[in-house]
Amino acid sequence: MYKKLFIRLLICLKNKQIEKGNKILNFVRTQNCTYLIKFTLVILFQLLVFKGQSQILEKKISIDISNQKMESAVNSIAKKANIRLVYEKQIWKNTGYITVSFKNVTLKSILDKIFENTSVIYETINDQFIVLKTQNRLNNTSFIDNTKTTKINQSGFLIEGTVVDEQNTPLSGVNIRVKDGSQSAISNERGYYNIGISKPGVTLIFSFVGYQTKEQVVYSMSTLNETMQSDPANLDAIVVIGYGTTTKRLSTGAQSGIGAVDIAKQPVTNVLQALEGRLPGVFITQTNGLPGAGINVQIRGSNSLSKSNRPLYIIDGIPYLSSPINTATGTSNVLPSAEGNTSPLNTINPADIENIEVLKDADATAIYGSRGANGVVLITTKKGKEGNTKFNATISNGISKVAHFVPMLGLSEYLRLRELAFSNGSMPSSTPTNTTAPDLTLWDTTQSTDWQKKLLGNTAHTFDATSSISGGNRQTNFYLSGTYHREGNVFPGSQHYERGGMNLNLNHSSNDQRFNLNFTAMYSADKNNITTTDLAGYAYSLPPNFPLYNNDGSLYWLPGTIGSLPNPLGYLNQTNDNKTSNLMGNLGLKYTIVKGLDVKSSFGYSKTDMDQTTLRPLTSLSAAYSVPTSGTSSFSYNYTNNYIVEPQITYHSEFGKNEINLLAGGTYQYSKSRQPYYILASGFASDDFLTNISSATSVSTYSSSQDYKYTSVLGRINYNYNRKYIANFNIRRDGSSRFGPNNKFGNFGSLGAAWLFSEESLLKNNIHWLSFGKLRGSYGIVGSDDIGNYQYLETYSTYSYVYNGVSGLNPTRIANSNFKWEETRKLEIGLELGFLKDRISINTSYYRNRTSNQLLNFPLSSQTGFTTYQSNLPAKVQNAGWEFSLNSTNIKKKEFSWTTSFNISRNRNKLLSFPNIENTSYYSSYVVGNPITAYYLYQFAGIDPSTNLPSFTSFLNGGTTGSPTTGLVATKRGDRYYVGTSLPSFFGGLTNSITYKNLSLDFTFQFVKQKGRSLASASYYPPGYLNNMSSDVVNNYLGLGNEYDLVTAGLSTTKGRAAYRGYSYYTGSDATVVDASFIRMKNISLSYTLPNALLKKINSQMIRIFVQGQNIFTITKYKGFDPESQGVVTPPLRTIVTGIQLTF
């Protein structure tokens, strides 16, 4: 097998040299070779890893022993073989003297020989040392777990025992370690553990997620059984923070997260979907329901007037793209896709995620300096763990459908309004003709099509297969996983989205634990071939009797002189092929110089690329305005290489009641984004040549590139006194290539503090129902450099005119080297409480974020030759609000448990100040004191009796008018007033987890209180036009007055124009602002785990059967497709999945 693999690899390498000259035509072959090369490297790496694992009993030694006591002889053998022993003195009783000689013999053979006539037997522990016992003692104790114990000295002793919970149920996976030492162990599935101790008087620490951490001092070899007490609030659970870890108990910052267990209960493609409704302060919306659709994430509101407000994503220490991959070099040369802005996180397999932590306040985000203004999302993938080799596989199948369709006008009602539009004088002639009303004269008026069911009614099938293998010992452990995901589409045909990938993690440490190496590599690739256009718009607007085909079987195209109604099948006949791949690797090295002082560094690399091909055959192109003579094709390739190096030095010390942690480090990052080609080709002799660019008569080629460099120095001081009073100070100085030489560097930092008042003796000894109480606060400055590259430089573009044989240059941007970092000042105060032994825990926070030095385009008069230039404007945006979360353990019995989690968030956004706004173009868009994402609309005043058309409040002149002006009321320049904001008033979620024996039920309700725009705002033509629309929109509008005056079919008459303008103003008025609040069963999971008795018979650790659902039902007054995505787009789909999980 390996020989064939290597031969194919050599062939691929040779072919890659040959194929360099024609990248597009050989793309498929090149991709296949690339996959083979990467697969070969993975196989080689695995061979090296597993080959390198030592086998202690297979060591060969040569030794001569003459008339030595058994104990002395065994110690001589141990020294020769460089192994460690654990035993009690009494085992040598009655063993006598021995004389032996061995030449190049395995250790196993030597031990078997010298112990063959004694009661002494041996067991290997962690492939590091050997435990010696007598046969009788071994029979009277639990079996020894061969993978759990770590470092041991020959003069040490062994501690063993069983760990159980309050119901005396064995706990598997409990971590037992020596305080201030390197020894550690993990309890097995029976709760059993054993651990080597170097000397008497050391402290053992028992820790497990969901249970209180316990400490025990040990002095000699003994059996130590431990009962763990539940910790419902997970106060001692390790949480990831910027450049380190802490616990919830000792954290001074505001952050919230979700773990692998909760992610696994949700059938999501993008891991960000798993956060909806679960994290306070984190508002997530899915832009549409198509495969690979973008996900919008806002953490505590919008800070910037014109920027994306996207958070910083960090995956295993490597910054990850937050913007669509194909826009990395700019937004001008980008091929479209129906799902819109593709989320880069689609390429990450949710099953590989260990946890996600969202950092929110200054204390948590200031360590990331200029990139922490919009919050930070830390994603940690699964890692190798010490223990027996474990294989896990999960396979699932599912279906997805549009959950709600919009009631539309039926054929008879649609045709009645069309006929009325001709008879009421809105058209020059009252008689419909083939050129003015083909739906009345040419098309079949007896047959109708439900376009929503035809274009969006398909069932999308999903399939997932994920497997992983993990294990290792104290020194070396690993995690390797592979995944495949296939997701269909609700459009007609067989469009789909596919993703495959691998994840590898390797951890290694030296015998003395002073040197540690961590290597993580992730590779994934996906392919999305859905059409370039979301068909929801046509499902909503096409007349019910619109014909798809001509009599000859060709596609029907409505002449452009009649209207703009494309044939949706034309888009389905086009080929849109988007291929994305993502390679990430991170190497972390750490060395302990002396106890508490570590030096470490991480070296990260990532490459993300996207290859797009769009083919538009001649038969798919519209013939509405002219008959096309050739199909067209487009090709684009984008990639981003990212390099990052982060050296650090940390120091930890405890003296008396004091504990101090210090961090100093730096960051160097270089991102290189390239678009080698963006090609538009046309003039093909046949559709068969669309992929052959040389066959096109017209070819336009573009390319672009951008570089970004970023460097930093950072530091942190964390001081803890008596585990009650904690102070945390962060500082960072950043340099970015996006700023000019005058402001290339910026300083950021924060100060946070926490007081664990529940540890005060007055409360601890007298108020027993208060189990935990912490008051925390922070203040700091973070920033943003979220602008395009090179904005401080003047730029030029080539011009078509030629002078003396040289093409001219046209200035396109004016230079400004003086603009500087956007700054956000964050203030936070939080209170965390635990009651009844933390069965009830409450976390509430108040925050206020103010962003200044807004990076905006300052408007210029076009007479200068430029319309804008990049600058800082003195606008200040404020986000302030409350967050509240509650977690409770309602019932916890041996066979039944019920926990509840609730969160709610309220954010208020406003433009706090903008000096001299009246002198900028922003005066027509923003009002000081109002949210930056506001609805400024006309005030609908009912139907004017004199015209029988909509009227609106005239704020400028008083009274009402049928022709309001577009300016803002607040500036006294128009009739558009502040109606509200698209930002939610509040949002949150409620999650319940119920377990009875082996049956588990989990479900989450998401709720959002918000305003939205009705479908009238997306219905661009009034009733009577050659377009269909929602029956609710039509009935509501026509119900306002006399439909004879409100219906129109065109602009050719005075009456028709007046009715059209009246409807247009109406769709831009407050009449279209509706309650878009909703309560949604976001997800539900029902699973059954087979009993242990049955699992033992088939040598399995776990078999779990599950059914999961997403977007099950929604309670809302919103009458559109979906209150989350709103507008006319394919809504988020309802998904049902069934599957099985196996662990061996």
Q: How confident is the model at residue 798 (pLDDT cuts 50, 70, 90)?
A: confident
The reported pLDDT for the residue numbered 130 is 78
Q: How confident is the model at residue 30 (pLDDT cuts 50, 70, 90)?
A: very low
Q: How confident is the model at residue 156 (pLDDT cuts 50, 70, 90)?
A: low
Looking only at the bridges linking them, the beta strands covering 282-286 and 295-299 are antiparallel
Domain boundaries 141-230, CATH class: mainly beta
Structure tokens given for 177: 């370690």
Burial 17-29 (b: 16+ CB within 10 A, else e): eebeeeeeebbee
Give the domain 55-130 fold: Phage tail protein beta-alpha-beta fold (3.55.50)
Task: Quickly tell me which residue has 């036009």 as its tokens.
Answer: 1025
The reported pLDDT for the residue numbered 484 is 95
Q: How confident is the model at residue 53 (pLDDT cuts 50, 70, 90)?
A: very low
Q: Return the H-helix or E-strand segment holding 8.
A: helix 2-18
Total Cβ atoms within 10 A of residue 1007 = 18
How far CA 594 is from CA of 652, 663, 897, in Å, comes to 10, 15, 46
Q: Return the H-helix or E-strand segment holding 363.
A: helix 362-365
Half-sphere exposure of 430 (CA within 13 A, CB side): 4
The reported pLDDT for the residue numbered 809 is 83
Does residue 124 register a pLDDT over 80? no
Q: How confident is the model at residue 488 (pLDDT cuts 50, 70, 90)?
A: very high
Q: Return the H-helix or E-strand segment holding 882.
A: strand 876-892
- Alpha carbons 87 and 711: distance in angstroms, whole number: 54
Instruction: Write the single-letter amino acid at 756.
Output: L
Q: Which of 207-221, 330-344, 534-548, 671-685 shows the lowest mean pLDDT across its residues?
A: 330-344
pLDDT (average), residues 752-768 = 92
- Alpha carbons 616 and 635: distance in angstroms, whole number: 12
Any long-range contacts for 557-562 (C-beta under 8 Å, 24+ apart)? 557/622, 557/623, 557/624, 558/438, 558/624, 559/435, 559/624, 559/625, 560/624, 560/625, 561/435, 562/435, 562/436, 562/438, 562/1026
- Alpha carbons 1141 and 104: distance in angstroms, whole number: 47
Contact status, residue 182 vs residue 229, Cβ threshold 8 Å: no
Does residue 19 register a pLDDT over 50? no
Pick 671 or 230 by higher pLDDT: 671
Closest CA to 854 of 472, 306, 348, 450: 306
Q: Using DSSP, state whether 1140 is helix, strand or coil.
A: strand
- Digit-coded pLDDT (tens) for 864-918: 888 888 888 899 999 999 999 999 999 988 889 999 999 999 999 999 999 999 8
Give the domain 240-389 fold: Ferric Hydroxamate Uptake Protein; Chain A, domain 1 (2.170.130)
Q: How confident is the model at residue 855 (pLDDT cuts 50, 70, 90)?
A: confident
For the chain, domain boundaries? 2-51, 55-130, 141-230, 240-389
Task: Quickly tell me which residue has 């997403």 as its tokens.
Answer: 1110
Beta partners for residue 1113, in sequence order? none
Q: Render 1115-1135 in DSSP notation, one character per residue.
A: EES--SS-TTT-SSSPPPPEE
Output the CA torsion sign for 681, 686, 689, 690: positive
Does residue 143 register a pLDDT over 60? no
Output the CA torsion sign for 159, 161, 165, 167: negative
Task: Quickly tell me which residue has 């290997």 as its tokens.
Answer: 124
Q: Render 910-970 in DSSP notation, one character per residue.
A: EEEE-TTGGGSGGGGT--TTS-SSEEEEB-EEEEETTTTEEEEE-TTTSSEESS--BSBTT
- Digit-coded pLDDT (tens) for 536-558: 999 999 999 999 999 888 899 98
Burial 1023-1055 (b: 16+ CB within 10 A, else e): bbbbbbbbbbbbeebbebbebebbbbbbeebee
Closest CA to 1058 of 426, 602, 619, 291: 426
* DSSP-H helix ranges across 757-910: 761-764
The reported pLDDT for the residue numbered 182 is 64
- Alpha carbons 1017 and 1127: distance in angstroms, whole number: 8
Where would I find the beta strands (DSSP E) of 656-697? 658-682
Task: Quickly tell me which residue has 């203040």 as its tokens.
Answer: 779
pLDDT (average), residues 1051-1060 = 94
The reported pLDDT for the residue numbered 671 is 93
- Digit-coded pLDDT (tens) for 982-1011: 999 999 999 999 999 999 999 999 999 999
Beta partners for residue 943, in sequence order? 950
Q: Return the H-helix or E-strand segment holding 208.
A: strand 202-208
The reported pLDDT for the residue numbered 1103 is 93
- Digit-coded pLDDT (tens) for 605-639: 999 999 999 999 998 998 888 888 899 999 999 99
- The phi, psi pair for 77, rounded to 5°, reads -65, -45
pLDDT (average), residues 805-819 = 83
